[in-house]
Amino acid sequence: MLLYSFLVFAICFLATARANVEDAQVVLDLSTANSTQSAPHWVVYADQYQSGVTGPPAASAIEGYNVFILSFLLTEGAWDKAYEWTTLTADERTSIKSDYAAAGIKLLVSVFGSTDVPTTSGADPNATAATMAAWVIKYGLDGIDVDYEDFAAMNSGTAEGWLIDFTTALRASLPKDKYIVTHAPVAPWFTPNSYVGGGYTKINQEVGDLIDWYNIQFYNQGSTEYTDCDGLLAASSSTWPETAIFEIANNGVDLSKLVIGKPATANDATNGYMNASMLATCLETAKKTGWAGGAMAWQYPNADGSWISTVRSLSWPV
């Protein structure tokens, strides 16, 4: 009985040790391939369940994109596509990452989203950043996207300090030469002099150098907001003043970091939808004026290779 128990223990110990070595090797192999990325950025999120697909799709299914974001990693743990990534074996994750790297596609995880309110719920920014950065490293991703939507905190003036601390702590674990860190604010948060804590203008002033780019949500802000090229690029409405692309840049945010985010279909958002052909025209106009940020879509599979091909057709054809 003792011999049997010892043998069982030995077998389990060796199996665990082997798994730990394999996992460590995967983290090393995947993370050493990570690096920053130059604009334009062609970004797509995935949160929706897709039958027959666990985690991200094959790189061939998203030709035209160079960033794919798994959603969401919450303060309570990974959900949806982010969770699916954890259910794959180490070998499966390695194979997918190799496929993506060969296609020039970075694989990120998005944190928080619309259901997580970390500041309001009292989450510590430094501890939360450390936990989430460790998750990125453990699962061999290229970086992290901060989709912070704690509106109560932004309106009360507590969001800015929390995000500044969170971003600083993220970069301490995810160095800029090796990992990507992006933010995905709603466009109105760039409105100057409207938020008691300074909004994203303040965040950009304090930690903008730590953020690679902004996946700006130009949707869900009103039925007539950001729905034509002029309102999207040149002059936003009086509801959310100075939040069109070139107005945000004029207020001190690096133009090359401004990525235009739109829903793939009208059903992917409450409002703010613009069809792919019109968005293509907007990108063409913006490029002629010196912009090269790129476009973001919510979400795959509606925003597939065909969608991004149309969006890029008049500016940076696939």
Tell me the C-alpha distance between 37 and 49, whole Å: 28
Who contacts 230 (Cβ-Cβ below 8 Å, separation ≥6)?
244
Tell me the C-alpha distance between 91 and 97, whole Å: 10
1-15 pLDDT, tens digit per residue, is: 333 333 333 334 334
pLDDT at residue 42, as a whole number: 99
**Coil, strand or helix: which one is 222?**
coil
Cβ(282)–Cβ(274) below 8 Å: yes
26 lies in a domain? Answer: no
Rg (CA), the chain: 21
Least confident of 26-35, 96-105, 192-201, 306-315: 26-35
- Provide the domain count of the chain: 1
pLDDT at residue 35, as a whole number: 57
234 lies in a domain? Answer: yes
What sign has the CA pseudo-torsion 228, 229, 230, 234?
positive
Q: Is the pLDDT of residue 16 over 60?
A: no
Cβ(229)–Cβ(282) below 8 Å: yes
pLDDT at residue 104, as a whole number: 98
pLDDT at residue 267, as a whole number: 98
Cβ(159)–Cβ(150) below 8 Å: yes
Q: Is the pLDDT of residue 106 over 90?
A: yes
pLDDT at residue 76, as a whole number: 97
15 lies in a domain? Answer: no
pLDDT at residue 36, as a whole number: 77
Q: What percent of the chain has pLDDT over 90?
A: 88
Q: Average pLDDT of 72-90?
A: 98
Q: How far is CA 187 from CA 131, 214, 261, 270, in A?
A: 28, 10, 9, 15
Q: Is the pLDDT of residue 33 over 80?
A: no
111-125 pLDDT, tens digit per residue, is: 999 999 999 999 999
1 lies in a domain? Answer: no
**Coil, strand or helix: which one is 42?**
strand
Helix (H) or strand (E) run with residue 200 in it: helix 199-207
Q: What percent of the chain has pLDDT over 70?
A: 89
Beta bridge partners of 50: 53
261 lies in a domain? Answer: yes
Tell me the C-alpha distance between 157 and 64, whole Å: 39
pLDDT at residue 38, as a whole number: 95
251-302 pLDDT, tens digit per residue, is: 999 999 999 999 999 999 999 999 999 999 999 999 999 999 999 999 999 9
51 lies in a domain? Answer: yes
Q: Average pLDDT of 146-174?
A: 99
299 lies in a domain? Answer: yes
Please report how the helices 305-312 and 276-288 are oriented relative to each other, as an axis angle in degrees rounded to 10. 40
Q: Is the pLDDT of residue 204 over 90?
A: yes
The residue among 208, 116, 136, 109 whose CA lies nearest residue 167 is: 208
Q: Average pLDDT of 183-200?
A: 98
Q: Is the pLDDT of residue 108 over 60?
A: yes
pLDDT at residue 94, as a whole number: 98
Structural domain boundaries, residue 48: 33-312
Q: Average pLDDT of 158-184?
A: 98
11 lies in a domain? Answer: no
- CATH code for position 199: 3.20.20.80
**Mean of all residue pLDDT scores within the chain:** 92
**What confidence tier does 150 reach under pLDDT thresholds 50, 70, 90?**
very high
Pairing of the two strands 67-74 and 258-263 = unpaired
